[in-house]
Chains A and B, each alone.
Chain A
Amino acid sequence: SQKIEQNSEALNIQEGKTATLTCNYTNYSPAYLQWYRQDPGRGPVFLLLIRENEKEKRKERLKVTFDTTLKQSLFHITASQPADSATYLCALGRGGGNKLTFGTGTQLKVEL
């Protein structure tokens, strides 16, 4: 069955460092992969999308890589700030209709 795994343990880093979150998947051939941010008690907010034929995408302090051979995506936040503290979800999609399958999420805490 399809499985999407993210770091189950919370990630604590110091302000100013780069946070790297991992998303691994099995038994899936996604056409695209997305990353979302979710704050407690709120719905997810879209951050970045990367397609199967793309290796890397950047947006301001965010960078996403996508390796379809390794079946893995890495999500980087550079120069992290306490305001970046949240849960980050990866989501895989295939084909039309925008039906997404989500990973369990990784909680990031950026400390002063």
Chain B
Amino acid sequence: GAVVSQHPSRVICKSGTSVKIECRSLDFQATTMFWYRQFPKQSLMLMATSNEGSKATYEQGVEKDKFLINHASLTLSTLTVTSAHPEDSSFYICSATPTDRGTEAFFGQGTRLTVV
């Protein structure tokens, strides 16, 4: 089956610093990847669509200058949370779908970000 790997799984950072989260498709190429965030006992909220070789598409209300997305290759997308604040503490998850798997989304294991 397709595997999406996310790193790191947990990160604690100081307020005002930046954190980079990586999302890799290990055995398939992904021209599109999706980034979600999830607060405790809440749904996954789509933040942005990461497009290989072009700019990401952000959902309404998501600050593109705060959540920088780079999709430089067909197997890697990164999300950088810039100038992090405690309210950015959340569970961030990425997903991708191989072209031969229709609409089935494969998710990374998620990254628990804690800003102190």
Within 8 Å of chain A (Cβ to Cβ): is B77? no
Known contacts A34-B103, A49-B103, A98-B97; is-contact A103 B108 (Cβ 8 Å):
no
> How many Å from the CB of A5 to the closest CB on chain B?
10
A12-20, A39-47, A69-77: which lies at the interface:
A39-47
B residues 79-108 touching A (CB-CB < 8 Å): 91, 93, 95, 97, 102-108
User: Closest residue of chain A to B108, judged by CB?
Assistant: A43
> How many Å from the CB of A86 to the closest CB on chain B?
14
- Max chain A Cβ within 10 angstroms of own Cβ: one of B32, B43, B110: B43
Binary flags per residue of A91-112, CB closer than 8 Å to B gives 1, else 0: 1010001111111110000000
Docked Cα-Cα span, A102 to B107, in Å, equals 13
User: Closest residue of chain A to B9, judged by CB?
Assistant: A41
Q: Are B107 and A44 in contact (CB-based, < 8 A)?
A: yes
B residues 9-45 touching A (CB-CB < 8 Å): 32, 34, 36, 41-45
Within 8 Å of chain B (Cβ to Cβ): is A64? no
Q: Are B105 and A102 in contact (CB-based, < 8 A)?
A: no
Q: Are A43 and B104 in contact (CB-based, < 8 A)?
A: no
Docked Cα-Cα span, A34 to B104, in Å, equals 8
Binary flags per residue of B36-62, CB closer than 8 Å to A gives 1, else 0: 100001111110010000000000000
Within 8 Å of chain B (Cβ to Cβ): is A21? no
User: Closest residue of chain A to B112, judged by CB?
Assistant: A41
* Contacting residue for A97 out of B32, B107, B109, CB 8 A: B32
A-B contact pairs, 17 of them (CB 8 A): A34-B105, A41-B110, A42-B109, A43-B95, A43-B108, A44-B107, A45-B107, A46-B104, A46-B105, A49-B102, A93-B103, A98-B103, A99-B46, A99-B49, A102-B43, A102-B44, A104-B42
